[in-house]
Amino acid sequence: MAKVWIWVSVAIIAAICIGVGVWWYYSHASPVSRAPTPTGKWYLVVGTSPDFPPFEYVSKNGTIVGFDMDLIRLLAKKIGYKDIKIVSMDFDSLIPALLKGKIDVIAAGMSITPEREKVVAFTIPYWHADQAVLVRASSSWVPKSMADLSGKVVGVETGTTGADYVKKFASKYNIKVKEYSSFVLAVQDLVNGRIDAVVMDAPVAKMFTHKYPVKIAFVIHTGEVYGFAVRKSDTKLLQALNEALKQVLNSTEYRKLVEKYFGSG
């Protein structure tokens, strides 16, 4: 009888030792172990161009915040990432940076277009927008159509859908297009009188009217939608983002996020 107990004790001690050993190995001895996420990293590397309030902008204390940043962080955490790392650059550099592997996802109020879909993969849409034409608040000249912009200098952000739209009409209506690396610089030039108008996404134009002495002259109904973009080869990441996004879009968490950045109106 005593022998049986000895064997049972030996077995229990052996099991404990193996358990502790395995735990120790995975928690200490394996620093290169990959994270169980679609990219194998603990952090999702997010690229953005923070000149686009309330989607992404630089806060008073210098950090990059906004609706897109909160939303992509929420999705990343649902997928299993510890957090996101934000990399800031000009809007125009985002797709090249994604393709080079410098970032893993673009969160920049980026409209889903057929041209972009040739090179990157988009998630399901999370927002819709039109384009708006901004002029100085004090201006008595208030254009109502693209034809009214004839002979004027119109500021756009390089690489945006707004820039493409204005360029399409440039020769027809003799519009001078001035490209900027950032919407903030374009709006500052508008305020200073260096240009006559700026074309940008309507929700962002509305935010700028609260921050600068500018007003919306008219809206161009393009009906574009925003998605997050990943490399086409990152199919697992795309699928995970889409599943998380589907869940989040119907949640109270999402409604709170909309409320936080857009208010109730």
In the complex, the residues that contact ligand ARG under the rule CB under 6 A are: 49, 51-52, 56, 91, 108-111, 157, 160-161, 183, 201
Distance in Å, CB of 221 to ligand ARG, minimum: 14
The length of the chain, given as a count of residues: 265
Q: For residues 209 and 247, which CB has a smaller minimum distance to ligand ARG in the complex?
A: 209
Q: For residues 37 and 197, which CB has a smaller minimum distance to ligand ARG in the complex?
A: 197
Distance in Å, CB of 108 to ligand ARG, minimum: 4
Distance CA 114, CA 106 (A): 16
Q: For residues 9 and 158, which CB has a smaller minimum distance to ligand ARG in the complex?
A: 158
Tokens encoding 225: 């939608």
Q: For residues 102 and 236, which CB has a smaller minimum distance to ligand ARG in the complex?
A: 102
Q: For residues 51 and 234, which CB has a smaller minimum distance to ligand ARG in the complex?
A: 51
Distance in Å, CB of 140 to ligand ARG, minimum: 29
Look at residues 241, 226, 232, 233 and name the one whose alpha carbon lies nearest to residue 44: 241
Distance in Å, CB of 134 to ligand ARG, minimum: 14
Beta-bridge mates of residue 229: 106, 122
DSSP labels, the chain: -HHHHHHHHHHHHHHHHHHHHHHHIIIII-TTPPPSSTTSSSEEEEEE-SEETTTEEE-TTS-EESHHHHHHHHHHHHHT-SEEEEEE--GGGHHHHHHHTS-SEE-S--B--HHHHTTSEE-S--EEEEEEEEEETT-S----SGGGGTT-EEEEETTSHHHHHHHHHHHHHTPEEEEES-HHHHHHHHHTTSSSEEEEEHHHHHHHHHHSSEEEEEEEEEEEEE--EE-TT-HHHHHHHHHHHHHHHTSHHHHHHHHHHH---
Distance in Å, CB of 205 to ligand ARG, minimum: 11
Distance in Å, CB of 50 to ligand ARG, minimum: 7
Q: For residues 130 and 243, which CB has a smaller minimum distance to ligand ARG in the complex?
A: 130
Distance in Å, CB of 265 to ligand ARG, minimum: 22
Q: For residues 28 and 210, which CB has a smaller minimum distance to ligand ARG in the complex?
A: 210
